[in-house]
Amino acid sequence: MQFGILFALMILAAFAEVISIGAVLPFLGVLTAPERVFSHSIAQPLIQVLKLTEPRQLLLPLTVAFGITVLVSGAMRLGLLWAQTRFSHAIGADFSISIYRRTLYQPYAVHVARNSSEVIAGISNKANTVVYSTLMPALTLLSSSMMLLAILMALVAIEPVVAFSAFAGFGGIYVLVILVTRKRVALDSQRISFEQNQVIKALQEGLGGIRDVLIDGTQATYCNIYRNADLPLRRAQANIQIIGSSPRYGIEALGMVLILALAYSLAGRSEGISGAIPVLGALALGAQRLLPVLQQAYSSWSSMSGGQVSLSDALELLDQPLPQHADEPLSVPMPFQQSITLNNLAFRYTSQSPWVLEGLNLTILKGSRIGFMGTTGSGKSTLLDIIMGLLQPTVGSLSIDGVTITPQNYRAWQAHIAHVPQAIFLADTSIAENIAFGVPLDQIDQIRLRQAAQQAQIAETIESWEKQYDTLVGERGIRLSGGQRQRIGIARALYKKANVIVFDEATSALDNDTERAVMKAIESLGDELTILIVAHRLSTLKNCTQIVELSDGQITRRGSYAEIVDPKAESF
């Protein structure tokens, strides 16, 4: 509907251009030869309506009429510019939002496999490129084509041979420029798409590791990385802008030469200079309209060609499939009354990569505390990701109370789960919003919030601050200590009231006393809570009902703490 309105506006704007060009003929005619205009048959209805008696009396109404047509034409072009710009940016917003939404719904394996800088560049820079280098130029090209057709028709009606000659000459120059520059534009388009990703990557790596950058004094290195990405990007963008704008100046000079030649030719006619001026003025006005429109059309082609690769990248992100549950309400938790079972489970990330897990068979009873131990690379975190429904088993299955977890029901299983990782993600918002993560501020349950903070052994610390739960944590929790960040992560899991909590080395930043207090609080939550723990300190696993040791993706031992762990060992 919006495009239909915009298209109608394009037609009206083109019609207004024709009227403004046509209106200059009688205006210039009444200035140079009023008697001829006064005696013309077309002027008679106006003369009778206004009751004019002398040719000179036509000057005022024709001046007013010409002024009105020029103002209306300008207003129509301004309205068309407003509508095109708003329409393009509205589509761009839909485009960007849809890419972001589709990206968030992708499986965890997809996120692990690709570089986040490519996605961020696609959502931000390349979505903008779609607006400025595809949508707006495409609409401009469409409106310019309609304008060109309307202006050409008006000029043909005035002086057909000159009109066709001018259009063919000007159009031929632009076609020649397109043929000469299209390879350069294609290369610059690829450069822009690639370097946009590199710029985002350089920013993420330099700012994301700012602590190490400052300590190591590697600012110059990261500045060079950024410069090596940004300079080629700017050069490619400049090349496309130069190619898009440069023909204009030669064309304008050629247009003036054409007007001079036409003036000389018309002056030699029998009507003399007075008869030539109206035609010459109309053609000059038409050329003044024609040349910018031709330049707009060419510049739009140049922009669209320069943004072609970025458009392709953005469309690829837009083509990401949405899962079935994307448009459905939050899943109702599936029944979980008995156990979590791994049935001959194996996993690898791709068909070419090695197996991360092989032949796992394990039953985890509801309400149990299971500790996982093993060296780095043994598969502990991958196993937890499968249990949490983030990864699908390559072979075998994960089942809950005998029901196999599939892509159709994994959201119903995840409704039971809360995850506390070693590196807690904290948004640059308040303590309350970070504990009740993903819950709108006005919907946070304050009683539940404080209860979760108390159970995580951080309520006393928060309530000693001036703004208490409204305290801002800073980007990635930079204003908090490591122990405080992890306790907020634990409070987040407890606020969710999940009955399965996964701790992936979540207490590694806590001192021994605080860790014991937190674990004691968690263990006192009741027998309905199932806890899965990967811990840095073996003492954290002391109260687990079962400990599972992994090595090279396989379960090598399982049993109680006393059976598995050397009493003298403190960590591994």
Contacts of 475 by beta carbon, 8 Å cutoff, 6+ apart = 428
CATH, residue 235 = 1.20.1560.10
Q: Is residue 572 part of a domain?
A: no
Instruction: Quote the pTM value.
Output: 0.65
The answer to whether residues 375 and 513 belong to one domain is yes
pLDDT at 488: 83
Highest mean pLDDT among 179-188, 267-276, 409-418: 409-418
Q: What are phi and psi of 323, to 5 degrees?
A: -70, 165
The answer to whether residues 468 and 347 belong to one domain is yes
Mean pLDDT score of the chain: 77
Q: Which of 36, 305, 20 is nearest to 189 (CA)?
A: 305
The answer to whether residues 108 and 235 belong to one domain is yes
Distance (Å, whole) CA 13 – CA 24: 17
Contact between 315 and 127 under an 8 Å Cβ cutoff? The reply is: no
Q: Give the model confidence (pLDDT) of 542-553 as tens digits.
A: 778 888 888 888
The answer to whether residues 349 and 296 belong to one domain is no
Q: Give the model confidence (pLDDT) of 28-85 as tens digits.
A: 677 766 777 677 777 777 777 777 777 777 778 878 887 888 888 888 888 888 888 8
Q: Is residue 505 part of a domain?
A: yes
Q: How many domains in the chain?
A: 2
The answer to whether residues 314 and 344 belong to one domain is no
Q: Give the model confidence (pLDDT) of 221-266 as tens digits.
A: 778 888 888 888 888 888 877 777 777 766 766 766 766 776 666 6
The answer to whether residues 304 and 385 belong to one domain is no
Q: Is residue 329 part of a domain?
A: no
DSSP state of 439: S
The answer to whether residues 347 and 280 belong to one domain is no
Distance (Å, whole) CA 449 – CA 459: 9
The answer to whether residues 258 and 123 belong to one domain is yes
Q: Of the candidates 318, 353, 368, which is a domain's last residue? A: 318
Task: Give the chain's end-to-end CA distance (angstroms, integer).
Answer: 65
The answer to whether residues 287 and 426 belong to one domain is no
The answer to whether residues 456 and 534 belong to one domain is yes
Q: Is residue 76 part of a domain?
A: yes
Q: Is residue 331 part of a domain?
A: no
- What are the CA-CA distances from residue 282 to residues 228, 279, 339 (Å)? 53, 5, 87
The answer to whether residues 185 and 294 belong to one domain is yes
Q: Is residue 105 part of a domain?
A: yes
pLDDT at 498 exceeding the cut of 60 = yes
Q: What mean pLDDT is predicted for residues 425-435?
A: 82
The answer to whether residues 195 and 48 belong to one domain is yes
Contacts of 106 by beta carbon, 8 Å cutoff, 6+ apart = 320
Provide the pLDDT confidence category of residue 284 given band limits of 50, 70 and 90: low
Q: Is residue 570 part of a domain?
A: no
Share of the chain above pLDDT 90, in %: 0
Q: Is residue 256 part of a domain?
A: yes
CATH, residue 540 = 3.40.50.300
Distance (Å, whole) CA 339 – CA 555: 18
Range of the domain at 528: 339-564
Q: What are phi and psi of 351, to 5 degrees?
A: -70, -20
pLDDT at 305 exceeding the cut of 80 = no
Provide the pLDDT confidence category of residue 162 given band limits of 50, 70 and 90: low
